[in-house]
Each structure stands twice: as structure tokens, then as C-alpha cells.
Structure 1
Amino acid sequence: MFAKFYQYIRAFSLDVVAGAVISARWIGNYFNADIPTEAILALGLTVWLIYTIDHLLDARKLKSKDVFLRHAIHHKNAPYIFGLIAVVTMVLIFILQSLKPYLIGYGLALGFVVFCYLIYVHFIQKTAIWAKEWFIALVYASGICLPTFSYIQEIPLILIYFWLQLFILASINLILFNMIEYKTDKQNGFNSFATIKGADFSRRVILFLLFAFVLIWSSSFLLFKAEELLDYQAMFIFMASVLAMVLSKEIVLRQEEWYRVIGDIVFVLPILEILLIDG
């Protein structure tokens, strides 16, 4: 029963939302940023809206009965989900009224970029593009770091460093999923990095990103001397190791979409440090 319940959590991107809000709180804790709960909640609702709208737009293109649960649910229940989007949007607007104006401005700017991108990808562009995963990774990493940036009102080098690691991890996560779902995406006419560049090339890109991550991760010990950084770097390398494991065991993890379960949990892992260390 729990397995079925968790399938619906993933279908509605709630694990992705959890990863965003937990990682945002985690990054903020490093800087002792006074991030209100309303800002974290607004981030979670925004992430859910973006992913849900994207799934609904993808569900319009279904060409095969061999689809993933998330697409089937959004295709079958589109009217109800649109109603839920309206409710969540109203809740988000209500929450935004309690936030500082400059945070609202940053969030609206990022949201506008995402809106323009979705319009372009789903309604304007005529040829397949391979940049979707990179764009989503950029927005996801930026959304995680945005609350911290907004409340410390500066961009220290270490925050840029955290953003870069989050961006690489999110890119690996998304391209890895696309590589594993290559055949199904092809059947349904979904464009992704893997369907355009090929599964083999995607694997090489993932390996390159993992190598780049290790190099960047290692450089932290030369660039930064903060003692508390060690805990964060331990968590980052743990997150990367989990994704590397998924890549190495992709055939086994295809069953019941375990690769997505484990892959999306990566951004939830910082909760261990929040609970055990920050406490």
C-alpha cells in the first residue's frame, strides 16, 4: 500500500518539492540566514506549479499507451488538476503578501523566465531542442539558493559554489532520468536531451558531469577554510555518490521506477544534516 501511495507522491512531484524546500533551508542554515517559513513555503508551491503545468502540457502530446503514471494521471485528471492549480495559485498570492518586496521581485523575475520558457517550448518552438534539462537544473538550483540570497542581500563566493554543485547534481539527475526513459519518450514524442542527442551520448555527458563535480568538490578544500563547510561537502559528495550508484544500477532500478525514487530523494538527503547537526 505504501508503494502505491509513494507512486502518487512522485506523480504529483511532491518529492521534488520536498527536495527544493529542504535544500533551500539547508543552504540558508550555512549562512544563518533568517529565512521565514513563508518564503520556503512559497518556493515549494512555485516548484509544484512549474512541474505540474509542465506535466499537463506534456500529457497533451501522448501518442502511446505505454506511458508513465505521472503523465497518465495528468492526462486523465487535467480538469481537476487545473482547478487545484487555481487554488494553489491563490494560496501562493496570499503567502507572497507577507514577504518582503525585494524577495517577491526576485521570485517574480525567476517565475517570468520560467513562464516564457514553457510558452516557447510547448507552443512556439518548431524544432526539437535539447536544452530543457539544463534550463530546469538552472532554475531548480537558483530557486534553492534564492531565499538565502534574498535575505543576506549579497552573493558570497561560497553561495556561488553551492549553486554550482546543486546545478551539476540537478543536471545529472534530469539527464539520467531521460537516458533511462529514452524509449518511452521517443514513443510519445517527448523531446529531451536523450531523445535528441542519444542515450549513449547522454551517458558520456553524465560521466563527464560526475567527473567535473568531483573536481569542483575537491577544490573547496583549497578555496575555503570554514570548518562548518566540511559537513556540507560531506553531504554533497554523498548526494553525488547516490546518483552515481543509480547510473551504475540503472537496469536493476528500472523496475517500479526505482531510479526516480532514489534520484529525487537525493535533494531530500540534507534533512539528515538539518535534523542531526543543525538540530
Structure 2
Amino acid sequence: MRFLRLVNILSIDVALGAAALAIVLARLWNIQLPLTVPPMLAMIVWVIYTFDHIKDARDTKMPGLSSRRNFHRTYYRPLVLVSILMLIISGVLLFTLPLRLVLFGSALSCLVMAYYFSLYFLKTGISVKEVSIALLYTAGIVIGPLACGTPPDGFLIHIIQLFLLAFNNLILFSWFDRDVDVKEGFTGIIQRVGQINSRRLLLALPAFQIFLAGSLLISGFFPVFEMIWMLMAAILIFPALSPVYWEAGSRYRIVGDALFFLPLAALLFSSL
């Protein structure tokens, strides 16, 4: 469990999960991804998340409350060095990508920089941080498959489902971290809508996703994928129902981020 917690604190699971989902979507849409896309995506996602955690760790008003921010505050120098190395490797891999993907990636990079500029310098968008991160995370995953081929009809449904799950995950994390976030000077949707309404949202979001995936499953729309998506959404309900158990050892984070590997597991054992 300690190893899994360290992997989670370092956002390694988030980065690998993004790469795994890009592979799954490409397979689902019958698109051939260049071999360098998944590792490059994983490195870029890791750098973005690490930068975000380092910035939060240095901005906190009460150091020591969050183990994640405390870790990034303590080891920020080696983390910065590793981030620079990741960016250098990504820059080299850039020359292996199709021009269209490079252009798409450049546009997304501009959006990421604009987001962080507004967040940390203009101090806007803080209350909708979860929405922004979910959108950028979703865009980062789908940009490879979209740039490398033509997706099938109905592909937008998959993108919406991915966004909803990512947003659900972020809301779940923020709900569990709400007290620490307030003490350390961070706010988000949870503080904006209140604890009671946010818990209702945590129950309504996965319920809607289960309904959507179930409806698509019945209609025969990528049935194996929708079965997996129903399972992923269902798992996200449990932390909100029994928060004491899931808060211990940050189980909610470990399971929440590990969810994104389920579609890849399905890919390995069946044909999506």
C-alpha cells in the first residue's frame, strides 16, 4: 500500500492512465497510433501534474497538512530536474510524430499555458479548476487518436464519457481534501457549492454515467467498452457512501486513479 501511495503522490498512475486510455481509444476507433505517442503523453501529463503540485506546495498557507504537497515541497528540486529531463525527451520524440499531431499538440499546449496563466497570475478560474483540468486531461488523451485517423460515428459520446469520469474523479478528490484545502488556502467547486450539494453531485454523476453507459450498452454501441465504463462509474459511488473507510490511507485516490487502467485491461483480454 505504501508503494501504491507513493506512485499516487508522484502522479505516475495518472500519467500512465492517460497513456493507457489513449491506446484504448485508438484501438476502439480503429486508429493506428505512432508508438511514441503513449510514452510522450505519459511524460507530458506527468510534467503538468508535477508542476501543478509543486506550485500548490509553494503557495500553501499552512505547510504540512497535505502529504502530497508536503512531498512536492520537500523534493521539488529533483522533481524539477526530472521534469526538465522529461521535456527534453518529449522534445526529441516530437520529431517522430505526424505534422497534424504536432499542430494539435501545439494548440493544446497553448491552452494549458493560458489556463495556468489565468490560474496563477490572474487568479481566475480557481473555482472551476476541476472542470478545466478534466477538459485538458480529456483533450490530451483524445488528441493523439483524433490527429492520427478518422474516428467512427458517435466518437463524441466516448469523449463526453471520458470527461465526465475525469471530472467525477477530481470532484471526489476535492471532496475528501476539502478541509485541508481550506486550511491551506485553496478553493474549488466543493467550497463553492457546499459539502451537502457536492456529496449529492458525487452520487448523481456516477449514477448518470451508469445510466448513459447502460443505455448505450443496450443499443449495442461498443458493448464491452460500455460495460467497463459502467463498472468504473459504479466504483466511484462507494467512496461517497462510506467516506471513513475510503479516506484511510487515501484509498479513494489510489482506486480513483487506478480506474483508468480498467479499459486497457479489457483490451488485453477481449476485443473492444
TM-score range, shorter chain: over 0.9
Q: Which amino acid aligns with 2:109?
A: G
Residue in 2 aligned with 1:231?
Answer: 224
Q: Which amino acid aligns with 1:197?
A: V
Higher alpha-carbon deviation: 95-104 or 59-68: 59-68
The TM-score normalised by the length of structure 1 is 0.91
> Of 241, 252, 267, which residue of structure 1 is paired with 2:260?
267
SS in 2 for 1:251: helix
Higher alpha-carbon deviation: 97-106 or 72-81: 72-81
> Of 119, 130, 146, which residue of structure 2 is paired with 1:133?
130
Contact 1:185 1:195 in 2 (8 A): no
Cα deviation digits, residues 27-80 of structure 1 (max 9, x gap): 111122110220111111111111011101101122224422221111112222
2-side partners of 1:178 and 1:138: how far apart? 16
Q: What count of residue pairs does the alignment treat as equivalent?
A: 272
Contact 1:96 1:104 in 2 (8 A): yes
Q: Which amino acid aligns with 1:161?
A: I
Cα offset for 1:225?
A: 4.3
Give the unaligned 5+ runs of structure 2.
Answer: none
Runs of 4+ in structure 1 over 6 Å off: none
SS in 2 for 1:124: coil
Q: Which amino acid aligns with 1:36?
A: P
2-side partners of 1:59 and 1:149: how far apart? 35
Give the unaligned 5+ runs of structure 1.
Answer: none
Residue in 1 aligned with 2:89?
Answer: 91
Q: Which amino acid aligns with 1:170?
A: A
SS in 2 for 1:32: coil
Alignment of 1:255 with 2:248, yes or no, is yes
Higher alpha-carbon deviation: 196-205 or 178-187: 196-205
Residue in 2 aligned with 1:183?
Answer: 179
Contact 2:30 2:151 in 1 (8 A): no
Alignment of 1:62 with 2:55, yes or no, is no
Q: Which amino acid aligns with 1:114?
A: V
Contact 1:66 1:184 in 2 (8 A): no
The TM-score normalised by the length of structure 2 is 0.94
Alignment of 1:198 with 2:194, yes or no, is yes
* 1:236-247 matches, cutoff 5 A: 236-247=229-240
* 1:70-109 matches, cutoff 5 A: 70-109=68-107
Identity of aligned residues (%): 27
Cα offset for 1:236?
A: 0.5
